[in-house]
Each structure stands twice: as C-alpha cells, then as structure tokens.
C-alpha cells in the first residue's frame, strides 16, 4: 500500500499530511507507543469531536502536556525527537513545515492536528488484529552476551531489522514506499512462516527419530 497524503483543516488553517515511512512509524510505536496511547486517551474528547466533524477542543493543554510528562526524564528532548518524526512531511497552508515550536505555541490546534496525524498513520495498526507467535511457558533460549548487548543498544526499530534480515522487504521499500501498516502486515506474514517452519522442522525430527528406532 502506497503512503497516502491527506489534507486537513484545523480551525482556520489547512495542513497537508503525508503518511510516515514504515521505518519512522515503527520506530515511533516501539519507542513512544505508551506515551501516544496515553495522549489519545487524554484527547478522547478531541477524537469524538473529530468523528462528528467538529473542531472545538476543551482543555487541549491537558492532553498535550500530559504527553510531555509521559515521556519522562529529558521530556523536551524526547518530545523533539518524537515530533520531528511525527511531523515529517506536515506543512501548513503556506507551505511552511510544522515543527515542535509551532506545536508548543498553538496547543489547541496542535492537539487536533496530532490526532489527525495519529489517525492517518497508526489507526489501522492499533485496531487491526494480527497473528502473533504464541508465547509458551518454556525457558527462553540463552542469548550470547554480545548479541544481547547489541539488541539492547540498537537504536532503530527491531521490527524493521527483522523484516530486512528476513528479506521480506528492503530498506528502500521501508523508507520510501511502505507505511507502518504495511510493515505490521509483513511482520504478521513472517510470524506465520516462522511457526510453520518450526513445525516442519519438528516433524522432520520426529520422522528421523522414528526411522532411527526402526
């Protein structure tokens, strides 16, 4: 699915939005998913009004500043990183890029604009039901210390890394043409293939053991 564009009106201003790349979208959800979930809960009145095509926001600063607070230590730096990614490709009716300074200077419009951005990029990810590899109560396999260190300190999206390593998509695909929902759909396919391959391996081992006994 190609990344979509959307034109939205917030108050008297119009904005042009472009869906985030799969790389940016997955990074945001992995690093700021909880903060954005809390934001959407705090801005629920905004969501309800958007559904009704009304744009009157009550107490917008509560939702916006709660988002900053949820980001914790170094909140402004984290918020700057988050907004730089979320607002990528967002321009106002004059063609100027929207940035974190505009967000903090216009809290009422910012909350509505952010809701639009989140709906455009993550709604289908949040509401969609996808297959996940079942979690079993088996002892997790031990991971080499250096591998664990690399995983813990990896600065990019783990989902994107897995997709590229598995050759389900290229870096160019995920940074240009594909959106966040595409990445999640590909990861679901990869998860199913992983389960099927494990079962095929177990069946082959059972047959080999049976032949050995015979």
Q: Tell me which of 24-28, 29-33, 63-67, 178-182 is least confident.
A: 63-67
Pick from 56, 78, 51: which is nearest to 67 by CA?
78
Classified as helix, coil or strand, 15 is: strand
26-36 pLDDT, tens per residue? Answer: 999 999 988 88
Say what the alpha-carbon torsion angle 22, 28, 34, 39 is, to the nearest 10 degrees.
-100
Q: What is the pTM of this model?
A: 0.83
In angstroms, rounded to a whole number, what is the distance separating the alpha carbons of residues 205 and 129? 33
Classified as helix, coil or strand, 10 is: strand
**pLDDT for residue 74:** 66
**pLDDT for residue 55:** 42
In angstroms, rounded to a whole number, what is the distance separating the alpha carbons of residues 148 and 140? 13
H/E element holding 206?
A: helix 180-213
Q: How many CB atoms are closer than 10 A to CB 4? A: 11
72-122 pLDDT, tens per residue? Answer: 656 677 888 888 899 998 999 899 999 988 888 888 888 889 989 999 999
Where do the domains of the chain lie? Answer: 5-127, 145-213
In angstroms, rounded to a whole number, what is the distance separating the alpha carbons of residues 70 and 76? 11
């Amino acid at each position: 699915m190609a990344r979509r564009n959307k034109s939205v009106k917030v108050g008297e201003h119009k904005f042009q939005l472009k869906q985030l790349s799969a790389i940016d979208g997955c990074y945001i959800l992995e690093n700021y998913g909880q903060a954005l979930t809390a934001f959407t809960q705090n801005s629920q009145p905004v969501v309800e009004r958007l559904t009704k095509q009304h744009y009157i926001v009550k107490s917008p600063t509560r939702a916006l500043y709660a988002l900053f607070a949820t980001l914790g230590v170094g909140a402004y730096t984290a918020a700057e990183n988050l907004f730089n990614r979320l607002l990528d490709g967002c321009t106002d009716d004059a063609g100027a890029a929207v940035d974190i300074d505009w967000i903090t200077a216009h809290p009422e419009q910012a909350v509505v604009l952010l809701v639009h951005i989140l709906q455009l990029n993550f709604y289908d990810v949040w509401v969609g039901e996808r297959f996940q590899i079942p979690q079993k109560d088996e002892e997790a396999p031990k991971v080499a210390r250096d591998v664990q260190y690399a995983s813990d300190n990896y600065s990019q999206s783990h989902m994107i890394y897995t997709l590229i390593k598995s050759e389900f998509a290229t870096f160019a695909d995920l940074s240009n043409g594909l959106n966040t929902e595409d990445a999640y759909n590909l990861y679901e396919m990869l998860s199913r293939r992983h389960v099927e391959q494990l079962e095929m391996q177990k069946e082959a081992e059972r047959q080999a053991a049976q032949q050995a006994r015979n």
